[in-house]
């Protein structure tokens, strides 16, 4: 059993909890060192709480976390005895490196990146300084854990000059062992209406504008079904904007992962592309929804020329458009009929489950990339 100390900036984040839980399920001793953006969730492992940080920027988060961590006497002994340190995002990498140096730990550091922060993409002085700091910190890293190959090709290799080891860890669904994949939807649907879904964290202003305009222009030919938590600080006008558009339906938040089947099962096709940081992070990432949609045999639409679009073309999960414009999306949706949608859904159903759901081999391979051997049994 390995002692895995994980540094994270938000313990309330579902993806963070899934990663920590997957290590714990394999029987490893997990200790999380985390700040949070909300109330403390209940976890099955030891957590060192660095406090609530709200919606602060990256550098402010890093300063708050470092101040809290250095004042906690428990941290140095825990890190000194760790077998591996996992740091998610740049602020936590800085913290892990500082505490490792102070504790004289010899544990390797894995740097996990699920997004390239906007600060790291800019051309201003602050952005250049942040990239310089990251390059320095990368010298202390034993391996990168990246959720998309686009992050390596489009950022770490060509912009940061990183030529060290890296491991792909996709944002696959984390499900109970006995979870069974739904069958493709076989019910008869209104052939004249396409049910377009937008499912997940509803925080992308460009996607909202694109989908809303598309729904308005297509009228009764499309229904836009939105499922998820609205990020009010990004979309404060969300409810007012959709109030008078009859073909737009907001269903609210859903339970994860149990609520996903109802969300995807009610849609003919879903919008999978992130446009929030177009030209940068959005072009490089692989979003959760392509794995969620795939597991539920639901076709998706993405933007060609992006990592998401390339993935969709590779797996055959749906269709791509050449531009993120209402004209391009309307053209795509207008060309679809229930026969084409059903054929795509059946093709997705033939894709192996492991493409969309996390397996034990995925987790042991991830830990193996930083020298933690696979266990022969799981935790009771």
- Are both 81 and 161 inside the same structural domain? yes
User: Within a domain: residue 224?
Assistant: yes
Per-residue pLDDT of 52-65, as tens digits, reads 776 556 677 677 77
Q: How confident is the model at residue 186 (pLDDT cuts 50, 70, 90)?
A: low
Confidence at residue 271, expressed as pLDDT on a 0 to 100 scale: 98
Please indicate whether residue 98 or residue 156 has the higher confidence score (pLDDT): 156
> Among 24-38, 51-65, 201-215, which range has the highest average pLDDT?
201-215
- Are both 139 and 208 inside the same structural domain? no
Confidence at residue 68, expressed as pLDDT on a 0 to 100 scale: 72
Q: Cis omega (within 30 of 0) on the bond before 216?
A: no
Cα separation of 69 and 50, whole Å? Answer: 6
Please indicate whether residue 14 or residue 270 has the higher confidence score (pLDDT): 270
User: Within a domain: residue 152?
Assistant: yes
pLDDT, the chain, mean: 93
> Average pLDDT of 236-242?
97
> Average pLDDT of 110-116?
96
Q: Which of 9, 6, 77 is nearest to 38 (CA)?
A: 9
Per-residue pLDDT of 319-330, as tens digits, reads 999 999 999 999
- Are both 333 and 363 inside the same structural domain? no
> Average pLDDT of 178-193?
80
Is residue 378 predicted with pLDDT exceeding 50? no
Q: What are phi and psi of 335, to 5 degrees?
A: -85, -10
Q: What pTM did the predictor assign? A: 0.93
Cα separation of 337 and 347, whole Å? Answer: 16
- Are both 205 and 168 inside the same structural domain? no
- What percent of the chain has pLDDT above 70? 96
Q: Which residues pair with 321 in a beta bridge?
A: 303
User: Within a domain: residue 378?
Assistant: no
- Are both 341 and 364 inside the same structural domain? no
Q: Which of 179, 150, 187 is nearest to 166 (CA)?
A: 150
The two beta strands, 269-271 and 300-303, are parallel
- Are both 333 and 362 inside the same structural domain? no
Confidence at residue 377, expressed as pLDDT on a 0 to 100 scale: 39
- Domain span at 327: 194-355
Confidence at residue 35, expressed as pLDDT on a 0 to 100 scale: 84
Q: Map tokens 């959760």 to a residue.
A: 288
Sign of CA dihedral 9, 10, 13, 18: positive
- Are both 34 and 163 inside the same structural domain? yes
Q: Among the listed ranges 50-59, 120-129, 232-241, which one has the minimum average pLDDT value?
A: 50-59
Cα separation of 300 and 344, whole Å? Answer: 10
User: Within a domain: residue 142?
Assistant: yes
Q: Among the listed ranges 11-20, 48-57, 350-359, which one has the minimum average pLDDT value?
A: 48-57
* Domain CATH for 229: 3.40.50.2000
Q: Among the listed ranges 187-196, 264-273, 279-288, which one has the minimum average pLDDT value?
A: 187-196
- Are both 91 and 213 inside the same structural domain? no
Domain count, the chain: 2
- What percent of the chain has pLDDT above 90? 82
Retrieve residue 256's tokens: 């994860």
- Are both 160 and 19 inside the same structural domain? yes
Cα separation of 65 and 8, whole Å? Answer: 10
């Amino acid at each position: 059993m390995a002692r895995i100390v994980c540094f994270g900036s938000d313990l309330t984040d579902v993806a963070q909890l899934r990663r920590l839980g997957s290590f714990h399920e394999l029987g490893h001793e997990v200790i999380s060192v985390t700040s949070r953006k909300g109330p403390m969730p209940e976890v099955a492992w030891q957590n060192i709480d660095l406090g609530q940080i709200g919606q602060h920027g990256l550098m402010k988060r890093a300063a708050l976390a470092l101040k809290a961590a250095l004042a906690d006497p428990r941290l140095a002994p825990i890190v000194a005895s760790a077998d591996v340190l996992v740091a998610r995002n740049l602020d936590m990498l800085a913290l892990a490196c500082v505490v490792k140096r102070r504790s004289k730990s010899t544990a390797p550091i894995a740097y996990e990146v699920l997004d390239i922060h906007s600060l790291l993409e800019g051309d201003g002085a602050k952005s250049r300084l942040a990239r310089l700091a990251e390059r320095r910190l990368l010298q202390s890293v034993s391996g990168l854990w990246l959720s998309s190959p686009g992050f390596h090709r489009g950022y770490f290799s060509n912009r940061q000059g990183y030529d060290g080891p890296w491991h792909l860890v996709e944002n696959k669904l984390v499900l109970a062992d006995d979870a069974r994949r739904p069958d493709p939807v076989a019910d008869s649907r209104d052939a004249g209406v396409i049910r377009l879904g937008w499912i997940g964290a509803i925080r992308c202003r460009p996607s909202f504008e694109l989908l809303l305009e598309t729904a308005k222009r297509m009228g009764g030919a499309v229904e836009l079904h939105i499922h998820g938590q609205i990020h009010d600080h990004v979309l404060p006008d969300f409810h007012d904007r959709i109030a008078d558009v009859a073909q737009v339906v907001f269903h609210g938040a859903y339970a994860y992962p149990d609520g996903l089947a109802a969300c995807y099962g009610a849609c003919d096709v879903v919008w999978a592309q992130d446009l929030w940081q177009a030209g940068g992070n959005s072009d490089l990432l692989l979003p959760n929804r392509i794995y969620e949609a795939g597991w539920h045999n639901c076709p998706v639409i993405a933007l060609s020329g992006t990592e998401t679009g390339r993935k969709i073309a590779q797996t055959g999960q749906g269709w791509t458009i050449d531009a993120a414009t209402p004209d391009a999306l309307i053209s795509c949706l207008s060309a679809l009929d229930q026969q084409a949608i059903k054929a795509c859904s059946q093709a997705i159903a033939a894709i192996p489950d492991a493409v969309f759901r996390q397996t034990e081999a995925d987790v042991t391979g991830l830990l193996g990339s930083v020298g933690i051997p696979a266990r022969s049994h799981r935790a009771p």
